[in-house]
Amino acid sequence: MYICLCKDITDHQLRESIRQGACDFSQVRRRCQVGAKCGKCMQEARMIVQNELSIQDQCAPMSCGNG
């Protein structure tokens, strides 16, 4: 499902960014550029990222990527 229409970013891309090492919302933003234009997607993107991070925390401790 598209989350950010300005940048053509899907929820899958946000989750994949976390699986590849992003460990907070700012890192996901840096990697995906979500919210880089109008910003209307920010609230939903943040919720998806926080949800995915909490799932990751429950599964296994992970080290933080460098961006």
Binding stretches for ligand FES (CB under 6 A) = 4-7, 35-41
CB of 53 to ligand FES, least distance (A): 20
Distance from C-alpha of 47 to C-alpha of 49, rounded to nearest angstrom: 5
Minimal distance, residue 39 CB to ligand FES, in Å:
5
Exposed/middle/buried for 32, CB within 10 Å: 0-12, 13-18, 19+? buried
State how far the Cα of 38 lies from the Cα of 36, in Å rounded to an integer: 7
For the bound state, the minimum distance from the C-beta of residue 49 to ligand FES, rounded and expressed in Å, comes to 13
Whole-angstrom distance, CA of residue 4 vs CA of residue 1: 9
Instruction: Rank residues 2 and 65 by Cβ distance to ligand FES and give the closer one.
Output: 2
Residue 46 or residue 56: which is nearer to ligand FES going by CB? 46
